[in-house]
Amino acid sequence: MKTVVIYHSQTGFTRRYAQWIAEAVGADCFSLSQAKGVDFSPYGAVVYGSWACAGKIRKLGWFKSRIRGWSGKRLAVFCVGASPAESPEIEPFLRRSFTDEEREWAAVFYCPGGLNYEGMPLPSKLMMRAFAKSTRAKKGKTPEEEVMAGMIGASYDIADQRYIEPILAYLRG
């Protein structure tokens, strides 16, 4: 099935996952800004990847507004965030990002990325620094929050090709 992967990435993690997926299934791969010129009609599958920002998936509206027009295509979304894959916040986060109907149309996946402070524009850097400070200061942290508080003060990379396996299985269906 001819597949296209569209991604929106600020610091590179989502782009890297998009390229891994595209290489694995022989898909075309475009950034969201390039996608404006893409004719989607030849594609049987569309994969959209974007990053988590303050509890939301960035530019998810671009994908959602096209779901109905893409009926008959195999659709998948992957979100890349700083949280580890086993974080208990992931499932509720993904659940509130989509309606039940949207989830019938598109499969949803999470891929852990990391933090790249060097690649962030200043406003993002300031937001993350403030978030890191408040996480560290929080009283009564859960064990997961304790781990995150220790991680998010500096850049780290927990992206791994194994996290694309469920996406590949879905596409190969």
Ligand X SMILES: Cc1cc2nc3c(=O)[nH]c(=O)nc-3n(C[C@H](O)[C@H](O)[C@H](O)COP(=O)(O)O)c2cc1C
Task: Yes or no: say if 150 and 138 are a contact pair by the CB < 8 Å rule.
Answer: no
Residue of the chain from 114, 132, 163, 167 that contacts ligand X (CB under 6 A): 114
Q: What one-character DSSP code corresponds to residue 2?
A: -
From residue 60, alpha-carbon distances to 6, 18, 77 in Å are: 11, 15, 9
Q: Which stretch binds ligand X (CB under 6 A): 29-37, 65-73, 111-119, 134-142?
A: 111-119
The one segment of 34-42, 48-56, 94-102, 160-168 that binds ligand X by CB under 6 A = 48-56
Provide the minimum distance between the beta carbon of 105 and ligand X in the complex, in angstroms, as a whole number.
24
Tell me the one-letter amino acid at 59. K
Query: Binder to ligand X among 4, 57, 64, 83 (CB under 6 A)?
Result: 83
Contact criterion met (CB below 8 Å) for 11 and 120: yes
Cβ proximity of 6 and 106 under 8 Å: no
Please give the C-alpha separations between residue 159 and each of 112, 115, 124, in angstroms, as whole numbers.
6, 10, 20
Cα first-last separation, the chain: 10
Phi-psi category of 48—alpha, beta or left, where left has phi over 0 and alpha has psi -120 to 50?
Answer: beta
| Of 53 and 147, CB closest to ligand X | 53
Which member of 60, 105, 124, 145 binds ligand X (CB under 6 A)?
124
Min dist CB 1 to ligand X, Å, is 25
Q: Which of 12, 84, 153, 166 binds ligand X (CB under 6 A)?
A: 12
Q: Which of 33, 42, 54, 139 touches ligand X (CB under 6 A)? A: 54
CB of 16 to ligand X, least distance (A): 8
Give the binding site for ligand X (CB under 6 A). Answer: 9-14, 51-55, 80-83, 113-116, 120, 124, 127-128
